[in-house]
Amino acid sequence: MHKLIEPTAQGEGPASPRPRPPAIEPGRDALFLDLDGTLAAIRPHPGDVGPEARRTELLRRLAERLSGRLAVVTGRSLEEADRILDGACGPLAAVHGLVVRGPDGQLDTPEASAAVAQARQALTDFAEERDGLLIEDKGVSVGLHFRGAPDLQGEAERLGHALAERHGLVAQPGDMVFELRQPGADKGSAVRRLMALELFEGYRPIFVGDDLTDEDGFAAAQDLGGHAVLVGAREPSGADYGLSDVEAVFAWLEEAVA
């Protein structure tokens, strides 16, 4: 999901109530990273986030250090994730796990359903009649952003829940956004699918994320013998460890490739 809070310099963000995660062990670990709020600074508009040389180089070095056992797991579309990551990450789960790309580049993606199209039209009609709303179309999901019109949050969420029930879609509330997506996957199922592949099998998964949608990824990593790292001070969370902000994530990851 897309939030407005800008990352702060390391040590300036809210203190995490959890201990800092231990160092990554390249011969033992597989790493799963959320994108927005974890690897990328949060911006007012989703399209404002773009490639950054530091991030691109770090991901390429991490992938080499981990022998390819690095995946980004995001709510973004695959195309948007690749644009922001500048092609630095091969294995990738997009749209909250609905779209999964393996290490060999093979893509597993469902056909966009008529239900999503119907919900998209209803949300678009709603947004066109009001100022400050933004529709984000990901094909197999659609999001309604209301950060520009916070007074419409209640009305937007009521509409979203009604459409989810009417069309059999998954309601995915976020920070000033409400998303409707096809059922059948989440970030946890994406972690499990990737961990079942030969490249990842038998390694310890570490999932790093900041948003409520990352809790499924946290639980999957823990169930598979790994651990979870929460970025920020959001509560409640099932994460074992914590990092204060995006800059703290970068610092921790850079220690693994130093």
Long-range CB pairs of 158-161 (<8 Å, 24+ gap) are: 159/122, 159/123, 159/126, 160/123
Give phi and psi for 83, each to the nearest 5.
Answer: -65, -50
**How far, in Å, CA of 70 to CA of 51, rounded?**
18
Paired tokens of 174: 């976020």
Q: Are 231 and 245 in contact (CB under 8 A)?
A: yes
Residues facing residue 135 across a β-bridge: 144
Task: Name the catalytic one among 29, 34, 82, 211.
Answer: 34
Q: Are 84 and 187 in contact (CB under 8 A)?
A: no
CA dist list (Å): 93 to 7, 73, 81, 194, 203:
24, 5, 9, 9, 18
Give phi and psi for 230, each to the nearest 5.
Answer: -90, 130
Respond yes or no: is residue 86 known to be catalytic.
no
Query: What residues are labeled active site?
Result: 34
